[in-house]
Amino acid sequence: MTKEIWTYLLLTGVALGVLGVTIRAQSFHLVGNHQDYAPTQPLAFSHRLHAGEMSIDCQYCHSGAETSRHAGIPATSVCMNCHKFVTSTFGAMQAEDRTATEEDRPVQPVISDELQKLYATLGLEGAEAIAAWNPLEVTPAKADSMEPMPWVKVHNLPDFVYFDHRPHVNVGLECQKCHGNVETMERIRQVETLAMGWCVNCHRKYSEIGVNAKPVHAPIDCTTCHY
């Protein structure tokens, strides 16, 4: 084998090695860092559609963020405030309306496969049952047959870390500061590292500049998050 070929093979090997190290470095996370974690959810809920296109306020669904340590995951009954009437995508329902008009017949209910998963947790089958849904009429016996949607939590902190949504939300800090631009996400993912250094730097920053032109005192002593 000639010297030129050996040199070529050596340089190729080095290039591939550098590429491999670069790829591994980009995907490397310290222990406990779940940045970019985006688990598959039991229902393909789109934050892009709800928080983005429809501009639904975060706290409509995560109502505990202002009054509780935990933001909370909405009960299925909250989803039903809209999805008792909206049973499929707008496109699918509009297409059925056009077809019904062309065929001179009543509009038939359209229920998407994804939303059927939502209705199934309430034991609802068929358009009539969905339309008749009334949470005030749910009996204890019927409630026992219902199951909550098994959402997978995305943002997780160690047990030794205490985080409270209330002071952050009530001071006027936007949800996107910690959760990223959720209004653009089809599937929710963890954007920030949520590491201690990241939190401390954030507290230092807003203690200096304030939030929405209001001065804040964001403590950085250990007992703030560990006690």
Provide the pLDDT confidence category of residue 21 given band limits of 50, 70 and 90.
very low
Among 164, 161, 190, 185, which residue's Cα sits nearest to residue 33? 190
In a domain, residue 218? The reply is yes
The average confidence (pLDDT) of the chain is 89
Q: Alpha helices, DSSP H only, in the chain?
A: 3-26, 47, 58-61, 76-83, 90-102, 113-121, 127-131, 140-144, 165-170, 176-179, 196-209
Percent of the chain at pLDDT > 90 equals 79
| Domain assignment of residue 128, given as a range | 80-144
CB distance 36 to 189 below 8 Å: yes
Reported as a single tens digit per residue, the pLDDT across 87-97 is 999 999 999 99
In a domain, residue 25? The reply is no
Judge if 89 and 67 occupy the same domain: no
What pTM value is reported for the model?
0.82
In a domain, residue 168? The reply is yes
Residue with tokens 């950085």: 220
Provide the pLDDT confidence category of residue 73 given band limits of 50, 70 and 90.
very high
Mean pLDDT over 27-34 rounds to 70
Structure tokens at 15: 């290039």
Judge if 106 and 140 occupy the same domain: yes
Judge if 63 and 168 occupy the same domain: yes
Residue that finishes a domain, picked among 144, 173, 188: 144
Reported as a single tens digit per residue, the pLDDT across 139-190 is 888 888 898 999 999 999 999 999 999 999 999 999 999 999 999 999 999 9
Whether pLDDT at 33 is above 90: no
